């Protein structure tokens, strides 16, 4: 590395973390200035979905594996964290650690096998996995309470303090989102992340220059599930419970919509996509009886007009200097 390389790299690191940090401060002070309590809850939900959508985008946008069962990681972590918080202790970090351990172990076991296939076969296998977990959640009543769902998950405690509903949980989610964004941006910009993108572009060529394609895909799969696990953990504390519907394939479809809506292959896209999704859904459900019809129509139009999603539409109107790749 030459000195100029280092300074270019430092500038990029700075740029990648500066914007999210500024946005974090903005989001943190927002409830004191403008928005209502209800909007705070909606924003919390949107930010949790954003973490989840980013984790899916690692697979879809950066590895080229279209997962149609990403609810599996989300719902699984929700059940693991919720059960742990209910039965043992409501310490947030401990519950998160347990959920991540469960999700990572299962992802490592499943991922080792499933990343061998790609395309529609991968989409269907991931769907099958999620549906098997869904059925387990419905049938295994001793742990999950079946279709009634797990209720009465206590509020989490962080370093001895209870993270209250509303602003405290909102801030915790905002900090998590910001941290996940910066870490993932650094991760995808690293040699490992670049290798993933090489695999997405041309798997055969990547393999022929000596890249261990299977190992890279496997690690990316586990990381993707682990990030989704963080989202699932936050969600179970926000909702104070979870139901088998968090594992259902319609949820996998929703998160895929958020990613496509926002822009595949960017980290910023899924954040925009999930924010638009949550607020549009709230708006449409209160205005129209057949809200899915309006929602679907808007989705189809956006995808037809902006094939690269909302982030693609925004990057087109950016000033040119922003798009240079150093």
Q: How far is the CB of 104 from other proteins (least distance, A)?
A: 20
Q: How far apart are CA 185 and CA 16, in angstroms?
A: 7
Binding-site member from 118, 195, 197, 315 for other proteins (CB under 8 A):
118
Q: How far is the CB of 263 from other proteins (least distance, A)?
A: 26
Interaction between residue 117 and other proteins (CB under 8 A)? yes
Nearer to other proteins, 112 or 167 (CB): 112
* Residue in 310, 195, 221 with CA at minimum distance from that of residue 259: 310
- Cβ neighbours around 93 below 10 Å, total: 11
Nearer to other proteins, 190 or 292 (CB): 292
Q: Name the CA dihedral angle for 186, 188, 189, 192, rounded to a multiple of 10 degrees.
A: 110
Q: Name the one range near other proteins by CB under 8 A: 13-21, 123-131, 196-204, 269-277.
A: 123-131
**Binding letters toward other proteins, positions 49-88, x by CB under 8 A:** ----------------------------------------
* Residue in 168, 128, 116, 152 with CA at minimum distance from that of residue 252: 128
Q: Show contacts with other proteins in window 232-291 (CB under 8 A).
A: 249
Interaction between residue 132 and other proteins (CB under 8 A)? yes
- Cβ neighbours around 19 below 10 Å, total: 14
- Cβ(279)–Cβ(42) under 8 Å? yes
Region of 145 on the Ramachandran plot (φ > 0 left; ψ -120 to 50 alpha; else beta) = left
Binding-site member from 119, 152, 166, 296 for other proteins (CB under 8 A):
119
Q: What are the phi and psi torsion angles at 158 (to 5°)?
A: -130, 125
Q: How far is the CB of 241 from other proteins (least distance, A)?
A: 21
Q: How far is the CB of 124 from other proteins (least distance, A)?
A: 5
Interaction between residue 109 and other proteins (CB under 8 A)? no
Q: For residue 11, give both structure tokens.
A: 């500038």
- Cβ(226)–Cβ(100) under 8 Å? yes
Full 3-state SS string of 197-225: HHHHHCHHHHHHCCCCHHHHHHHHHHHHH
Interaction between residue 116 and other proteins (CB under 8 A)? yes
Q: For residue 174, give both structure tokens.
A: 């905002």
Q: How far is the CB of 253 from other proteins (least distance, A)?
A: 11
Element (H, E) at 191: helix 191-201
Interaction between residue 121 and other proteins (CB under 8 A)? yes
Binding-site member from 18, 22, 105, 124 for other proteins (CB under 8 A):
124
Interaction between residue 208 and other proteins (CB under 8 A)? no
306 three-class SS: coil
Interaction between residue 138 and other proteins (CB under 8 A)? yes
> Where along the sequence are the contacts to other proteins (CB under 8 A)?
113-114, 116-121, 124-125, 127-129, 131-132, 135-136, 138-139, 249
């Amino acid at each position: 590395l030459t000195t100029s390389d280092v300074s270019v790299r430092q500038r990029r690191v700075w740029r990648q973390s500066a914007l999210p940090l500024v946005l974090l401060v903005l989001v943190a002070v927002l409830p004191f200035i403008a928005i209502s309590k209800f909007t705070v809850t909606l924003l919390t939900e949107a930010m949790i979905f954003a973490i989840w959508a980013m984790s899916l985008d690692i697979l879809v946008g950066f590895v080229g594996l279209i997962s149609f069962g990403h609810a599996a990681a989300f719902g699984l972590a929700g059940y693991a964290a919720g059960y742990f918080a209910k039965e043992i202790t409501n310490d947030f970090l401990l519950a998160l650690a347990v959920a991540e351990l469960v999700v990572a172990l299962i992802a490592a076991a499943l991922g080792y096998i499933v990343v061998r296939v790609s395309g529609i076969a991968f989409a269907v296998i991931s769907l099958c996995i999620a549906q098997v977990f869904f059925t387990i959640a419905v049938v295994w009543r001793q742990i999950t309470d079946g279709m009634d769902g797990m209720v009465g998950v206590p509020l989490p405690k962080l370093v001895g303090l209870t993270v209250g509903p509303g602003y405290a949980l909102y801030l915790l989610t905002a900090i998590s989102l910001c941290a996940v964004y910066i870490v993932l941006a650094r991760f995808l910009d690293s040699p490992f992340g670049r290798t993933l993108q090489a695999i997405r572009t041309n798997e055969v060529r990547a393999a022929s220059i000596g890249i261990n394609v299977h190992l890279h895909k496997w690690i990316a799969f586990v990381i993707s599930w682990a990030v989704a696990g963080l989202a699932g953990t936050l969600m179970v504390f926000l909702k104070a419970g979870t139901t088998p519907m968090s594992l259902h394939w319609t949820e996998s479809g929703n998160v895929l919509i958020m990613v496509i809506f926002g822009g595949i292959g960017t980290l910023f896209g899924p954040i925009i996509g999930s924010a638009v999704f949550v607020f549009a859904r709230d708006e449409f459900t209160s205005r129209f009886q057949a809200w899915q019809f309006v929602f679907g129509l808007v989705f189809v139009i956006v995808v037809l007009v902006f094939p690269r999603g909302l982030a693609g539409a925004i990057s087109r109107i950016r000033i040119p200097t922003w798009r240079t790749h150093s």
